[in-house]
């Protein structure tokens, strides 16, 4: 029980409830304070976005040089394709289903928020896109020069950013969420729209099962093996992921489940399952894409354009690989493109963070279960490799550690 009360998901739920209730009864003087707090915390969080990009994306790329191989390249490619494939599936589903969910934009009828008591501007060091390009360039340059000194520097910088996330961003997040939901409730935006998300969550979970079915059918067709001989052993891993909301906590169970399969090779499992638990985020990305489209229509009156969504999805697949291992890590890592590409403000990002966290256990379960299908594809690929490069030389230490995404 103590663990439940101290969990981030519990704190976010309490923050949402308190924020909504306060918004119903708040007067203008109290809302002056709330919008000021919301502005300051929002500025601080958005300031950290570029640090997250620089800290995680650059080191994630640099770390790959220790494992440069054809098998690693194949694993990265199929994980990325699966993730953005799930995202495009969610996008098509969103354009098809969301307009029929009775989501009514209320932007024009909102009650006006009062003015700030004072304004504190904390601009980011660089723009989001500049941070992304710089992080990629630094990561690639570190790989090409094989600079251990700079790789260690990036490693230490990533650890520093992770400490900032855990000791500053995560603790202030419930207050930021509460302030935003208080503002939304005061304006009147939340009362009619919150029930819609129950239907959206059901649609997302069904979509995750559809994508998992597609992955296993595809893996069976490629490997010429029965995918059910993998999937039927993954029940404990799925339930563990739902219960723990953690890919790290589920990894040991996933390894046991995979090793029970008669169609998977043990050496491939030891290499692929830990790797995919870090970089394969099909369920989380599917969830985020559907939710950003819902939030966009709810708060801003329209769905993002097709070209904007395509750009967002391509970048999201890259950002997710470098996501930190914190609650809602996928969304936190992608805040930069949510803001810069989709144009979300504080209210939109707060709402997205909250509903993503509420559903993220099923996204994590989808990620973990989908790893079995990709491992089946890797098993087929390994049979074509020369005996001079056996996978048994790969150990867990050989796989890139992108900081296990507890809420990936």
Report the pLDDT value the prediction gives residue 307, as an integer from 0 to 100.
94
The pLDDT assigned to 93 comes to 92
* pLDDT at residue 318 in the model: 83
Residue 406 belongs to some domain of the structure = no
Note whether residue 391 is domain-resident. Answer: yes
The CATH number for 199's domain is 1.10.3860
Query: Does 120 reside within a domain?
Result: yes
Whether 408 is in a domain gets the answer no
Q: How many domains is the chain built from? A: 1
Q: Look at residue 300 and tell me if it is in a domain.
A: yes
Is 270 within a domain? yes
pLDDT for residue 131: 79
- Please, what are the averages of pLDDT over each run of 10 residues along the chain (408 residues)? 65 82 87 88 81 77 60 83 94 91 62 79 78 81 87 90 83 83 76 71 92 94 91 87 66 83 85 79 91 88 92 88 63 83 85 79 88 91 55 39 39
H/E stretch holding 362 reads: helix 346-382
Q: Is residue 379 part of a domain?
A: yes
Quick check: is 404 in a domain?
no
What is this structure's pTM?
Answer: 0.70
Q: Which domain holds residue 306?
A: 2-398
């Amino acid at each position: 029980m103590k663990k439940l009360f101290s969990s981030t998901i519990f704190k976010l739920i309490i923050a949402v409830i308190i924020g909504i209730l306060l918004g119903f009864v708040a007067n203008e003087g109290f809302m002056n304070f709330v919008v000021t707090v919301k502005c300051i915390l929002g500025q601080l969080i958005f300031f950290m976005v570029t640090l997250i990009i620089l800290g995680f994306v650059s080191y994630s790329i640099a770390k790959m040089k220790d494992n440069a191989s054809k098998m690693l390249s194949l694993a990265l490619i199929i994980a990325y394709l699966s993730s953005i494939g799930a995202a495009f599936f969610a996008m098509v589903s969103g354009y098809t289903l969301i307009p029929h969910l009775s989501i009514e934009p209320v932007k024009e009828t909102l009650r006006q928020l009062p003015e700030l008591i004072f304004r504190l501007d904390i601009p980011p060091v660089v723009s989001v896109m500049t941070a992304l390009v710089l992080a990629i360039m630094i990561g690639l340059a570190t790989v090409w020069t094989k600079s251990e000194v700079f790789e260690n520097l990036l490693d230490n910088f990533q650890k520093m950013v992770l400490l900032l996330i855990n000791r500053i961003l995560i603790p202030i997040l419930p207050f930021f969420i509460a302030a935003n939901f208080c503002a939304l409730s005061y304006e009147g935006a939340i009362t009619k729209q919150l029930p819609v998300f129950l239907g959206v969550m059901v649609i997302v979970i069904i979509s995750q099962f559809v994508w998992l079915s597609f992955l296993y059918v595809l893996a069976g067709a490629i490997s010429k093996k029965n995918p059910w001989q993998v999937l039927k052993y993954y029940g404990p891993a799925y339930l563990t992921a739902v219960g723990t909301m953690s890919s790290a906590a589920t990894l040991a169970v996933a390894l046991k489940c995979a090793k029970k399969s008669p169609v998977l090779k043990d050496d491939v499992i030891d290499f692929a399952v830990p790797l995919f638990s870090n970089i394969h985020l099909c369920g989380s990305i599917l969830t985020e894409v559907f939710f950003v489209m819902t939030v966009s229509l709810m708060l801003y009156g329209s769905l993002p354009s097709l070209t904007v969504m395509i750009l967002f999805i391509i970048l999201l697949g890259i950002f997710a690989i470098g996501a930190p291992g914190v609650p809602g890590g996928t969304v936190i890592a992608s805040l930069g493109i949510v803001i810069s590409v989709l144009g979300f403000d504080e209210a939109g990002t707060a709402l997205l963070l909250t509903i993503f966290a509420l559903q993220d256990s099923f996204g994590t379960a989808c990620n973990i279960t989908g790893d079995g299908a990709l491992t089946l594809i890797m098993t087929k690929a390994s049979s074509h490799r020369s005996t001079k490069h056996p996978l048994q030389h790969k150990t867990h230490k050989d796989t890139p550690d992108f900081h296990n995404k507890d809420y990936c």
